[in-house]
């Protein structure tokens, strides 16, 4: 817990001398094989952190804890819908990671090679990520809900050498097959040399496909010792694809040094962690939160981490409360969507469980409605747990705007810029707007967790810094109040946030127009009580095509195979034409204003 005075003192120091601040943090957070020569280098728009520094991320998440005497400490607790429970301690996790890392090497995977991970949230997924980190291979985790088509696009963009998957994942009592999706995705991609399959019940390898290897066949043959690759601070650690305003997702690149320092330090500070805390972040490593706060942040801090394969309310709506009670979870970090779902089921379910182990609650991914915040505070936190509302993005690597535990909480308002972060609310030309006025949220200078690049598309990286006054453009609308607290109002661009997952309208439109019979598509978001936002598509059909329910259902299926279930519009309306600019761009704002019964000027005040 921190007082306002303490916070302000550290914040001011961090802004006055960021290089000293981050050097101190990097020195105390991470074990470096070689110290950096220069803390920060900025050749606009590119920047580097801890230049000349050498480290290994897996070493920092595992070896150093084992060396410090935490061999027996539980690193991961895996749970699932059937309430199976598997734990692994730091020493055994290190051994598994080393064996798997050696296995990857035996397949010819080297530093800088790209490895796709398309797995459920199981211990082996974390092993796969850390094994890549150990040998310097760049991993790219793809959420296991994405389609073969989406997976193929990412494999192609990265020229991935290996894909790691599992036979299936379990969701609401049903097995979802993953292996066949991967086979379809990599068909005839000559650069993909191997598919590694975690066979979960019986070993099933397609012998016709020589490229397939069983996860444990590979791992079990290998030595428990694997020297960590000495990585430069600015070497890429992973690429994670996220939606932007064009039709193609962008590969956000994060570094070994800057990212790890930032994930480690934000986790430690924001959740005010103590060494024996049991930490549960409900995200999946398919998203950034699962990188920073399921894997790298908590493990580099030597915590015990809960992971769960499954959904919040299956087999029963009290599933997650039961886990909190059973594992004595101290820090619980989830999304407003999940909390809204719990609230809908009612507080009766939380009252059936002893949630008294909880000390701090967190939320991320979308703005949280004040009444939902209050419910979280009262019924899950029993009015005694601070709630840290954390605003950040795939691109930022870690928390950026947050109410640290101990500071004044304003339900629905994310909070104050974190140490070292200068966040301001500006107009299109980069001037700060007056207090309590809506504007664009920008960050003035790079911070260690900032993305290094966009894979294969440096112009997309540069765009973040060139859009508004050479500051990092977040894409969000925000308001700053008289105390400097920042409230996030949602995206200002063509990105939609469904259940906390980022989806680009253009991506969905591309999928829609690739359906035979659809000529044009315009996609907008509408407020949704549970999901935050939901998608509505307006479609122009080829003449002669009948817009009936069967067509709607086929179009929805098509989007699912093109992208993922999360990208499927809830509503589809057929129209004769779409509103367009003179240059032919679809005016989604006009569609949205009409749909929501607002005047168009409400939506355009900040536009040119
Ligand atoms: C939104 C997720 C309000 C925001 C970590 C941002 C939030 C986008 C919050 C990034 C929050 C995230 N309050 N909105 N606490 N956290 N967002 O890249 O619109 O999946 O731009 O990263 O989520 O989503 P992403």
Q: Is the dihedral of CA 374, 501, 246, 467 positive or negative?
A: positive
Tokens matching residue 493: 């661009």
pLDDT tens track for 402-436: 999 999 999 999 999 999 999 999 999 999 999 99
Indicate if the pLDDT at residue 206 is higher than 70.
Answer: no
Q: Which residues contact 37 (CB under 8 A, 6 or more apart)?
A: 51, 52, 53
Provide the pairing of β-strand 162-166 with 114-118: parallel
Taking a C-beta distance cutoff of 8 angstroms, is the pair 297, 263 a contact? yes
Mean predicted confidence (pLDDT) in 32-54: 98
CA atoms of 213 and 438, how far apart (whole Å):
54
| Alpha carbon of 367 to ligand 1 centroid (Å) | 8
Q: Whose CA is nearest to atom 23 of ligand 1?
A: 365
pLDDT tens track for 331-374: 999 999 999 999 999 999 999 999 999 999 999 999 999 999 99
| Alpha carbon of 389 to ligand 1 centroid (Å) | 11
Confidence of residue 604 (pLDDT cuts 50, 70, 90): very low
Indicate if the pLDDT at residue 310 is higher than 70.
Answer: yes
Q: Which residues contact 159 (CB under 8 A, 6 or more apart)?
A: 114, 191
Q: For 377, list phi and psi in degrees, rounded to 5.
A: -65, -45
Q: How far is CA 491 from CA 474, 497, 502, 505, in A?
A: 9, 8, 10, 12
Domain with CATH 3.40.50.12780 in the chain: 4-412
Residue 327 CB less than 6 A away from ligand 1: no
pLDDT tens track for 125-166: 999 999 999 999 999 999 999 999 999 999 999 999 999 999
Considering only residues 384 and 603, tell me which one the structure prediction assigns the higher pLDDT: 384
Indicate if the pLDDT at residue 497 is higher than 60.
Answer: yes
Indicate if the pLDDT at residue 270 is higher than 90.
Answer: yes
Q: Whose CA is nearest to atom 5 of ligand 1?
A: 393
Domain with CATH 3.30.300.30 in the chain: 498-596
The CATH number that domain 498-596 falls under is 3.30.300.30
| Alpha carbon of 476 to ligand 1 centroid (Å) | 9
Residue 402 CB less than 6 A away from ligand 1: no
pLDDT tens track for 209-264: 679 999 999 999 999 999 999 999 999 999 999 998 888 999 999 999 999 999 99
In CATH terms, the fold of domain 4-412 is: Rossmann fold (3.40.50)
Taking a C-beta distance cutoff of 8 angstroms, is the pair 97, 91 a contact? no
- What is residue 201's predicted lDDT score, i.e. its pLDDT? 86
Q: What is the 3-state secondary structure (H, E, C) of 220-278?
A: HCCCCCCCCCCEECCCEEEEEEECCCCCCCEEEEEECHHHHHHHHHHHHHHCCCCCCCE
Residue 533 CB less than 6 A away from ligand 1: no
| Alpha carbon of 227 to ligand 1 centroid (Å) | 37
pLDDT tens track for 34-44: 999 999 999 99
CA atoms of 197 and 215, how far apart (whole Å):
5
| Alpha carbon of 101 to ligand 1 centroid (Å) | 33
pLDDT tens track for 548-574: 999 999 999 999 999 999 999 999 999
Indicate if the pLDDT at residue 437 is higher than 80.
Answer: yes
| Alpha carbon of 34 to ligand 1 centroid (Å) | 35
- What is residue 53's predicted lDDT score, i.e. its pLDDT? 98
Question: Where do runs of H (alpha helix) occur along 35-75?
Answer: 57-61, 63-65
Worst-scoring range by mean pLDDT, 112-116, 313-317, 368-372, 599-603?
599-603
Indicate if the pLDDT at residue 168 is higher than 90.
Answer: yes
Residue 54 CB less than 6 A away from ligand 1: no
Residue 160 CB less than 6 A away from ligand 1: no
Residue 284 CB less than 6 A away from ligand 1: no
Atom of ligand 1 nearest to the CA of 401: 15
């Amino acid at each position: 817990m921190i007082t306002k005075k303490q916070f302000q003192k550290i914040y001011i120091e961090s802004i006055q001398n960021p290089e000293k601040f981050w050097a101190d943090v990097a020195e105390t957070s991470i074990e470096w094989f070689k110290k950096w020569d220069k803390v920060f280098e900025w050749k606009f728009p590119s920047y580097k952190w801890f230049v000349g520094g050498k480290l290994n991320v897996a070493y920092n998440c595992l070896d150093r804890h084992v060396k410090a005497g935490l061999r027996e400490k539980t690193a991961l607790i895996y749970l699932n819908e059937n309430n199976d429970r598997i734990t692994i301690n730091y020493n055994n996790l290190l051994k598994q990671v080393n064996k798997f890392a050696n296995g990857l090497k035996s397949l010819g995977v080297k530093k800088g090679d790209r490895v796709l991970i398309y797995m459920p949230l199981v211990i082996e997924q974390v092993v796969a990520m850390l094994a890549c980190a150990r040998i310097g291979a760049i991993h790219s985790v793809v959420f296991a809900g994405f389609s073969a088509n989406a997976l193929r696009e990412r494999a192609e963009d990265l020229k991935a050498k290996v894909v790691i998957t599992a036979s299936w994942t379990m969701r609401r009592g049903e097995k979802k097959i993953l292996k066949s999706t991967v086979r379809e995705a990599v068909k005839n991609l000559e650069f993909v040399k191997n598919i590694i399959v975690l066979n979960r019940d019986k070993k099933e390898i397609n012998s016709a496909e020589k490229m397939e290897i069983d996860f444990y066949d590979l791992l079990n043959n290998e030595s428990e010792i694997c020297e960590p690759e000495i990585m430069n601070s600015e070497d890429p650690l992973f690429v994670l694809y996220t939606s932007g305003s064009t039709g193609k997702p962008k590969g956000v690149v994060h570094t070994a040094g800057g990212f790890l320092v930032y994930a480690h330090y934000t986790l430690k500070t924001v959740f005010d962690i103590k060494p024996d805390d049991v930490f549960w972040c409900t995200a999946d490593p398919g998203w950034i939160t699962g990188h920073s706060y399921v894997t790298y942040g908590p493990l580099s801090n030597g915590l015990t981490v809960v992971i769960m394969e499954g959904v919040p309310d299956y087999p029963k709506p009290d599933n997650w409360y039961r886990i909190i009670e059973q594992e004595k979870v101290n820090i619980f970090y989830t999304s407003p969507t999940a909390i809204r779902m719990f609230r809908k089921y009612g507080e009766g379910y939380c009252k059936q469980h002893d949630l008294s182990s909880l000390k701090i609650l967190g939320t991320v991914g979308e703005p949280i409605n004040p009444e939902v915040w209050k419910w979280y505070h009262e019924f899950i936190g029993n009015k005694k747990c601070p709630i840290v509302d954390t605003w950040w993005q795939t691109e930022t690597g870690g928390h950026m705007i947050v109410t640290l535990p101990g500071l004044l909480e304003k339900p629905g308002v994310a909070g104050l810029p974190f140490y070292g972060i200068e966040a301001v609310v500006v107009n299109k030309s980069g001037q700060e707007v007056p207090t309590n006025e809506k504007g664009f949220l920008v960050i003035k200078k790079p911070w260690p967790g900032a993305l290094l690049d966009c894979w294969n598309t440096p112009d997309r990286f540069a765009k973040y810094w060139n859009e508004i006054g050479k500051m990092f453009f977040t894409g969000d609308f925000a308001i700053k109040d008289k105390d400097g607290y920042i409230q996030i109002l949602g995206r200002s661009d063509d990105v939609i946030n469904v259940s906390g997952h980022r989806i680009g309208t253009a991506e969905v439109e591309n999928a829609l127009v690739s359906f035979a019979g659809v000529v044009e598509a315009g996609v907008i978001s509408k407020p949704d009580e549970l999901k935050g936002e939901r998608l509505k598509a307006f479609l122009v059909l080829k003449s002669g095509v009948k817009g009936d329910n069967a067509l709607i259902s086929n179009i929805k299926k098509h989007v699912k195979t093109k992208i993922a279930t999360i990208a499927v519009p809830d509503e589809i309306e057929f129209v004769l034409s779409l509103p367009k600019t003179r240059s032919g761009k679809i005016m989604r704002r006009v569609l949205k204003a009409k749909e929501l019964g607002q005047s168009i000027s409400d939506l355009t005040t900040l536009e040119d």
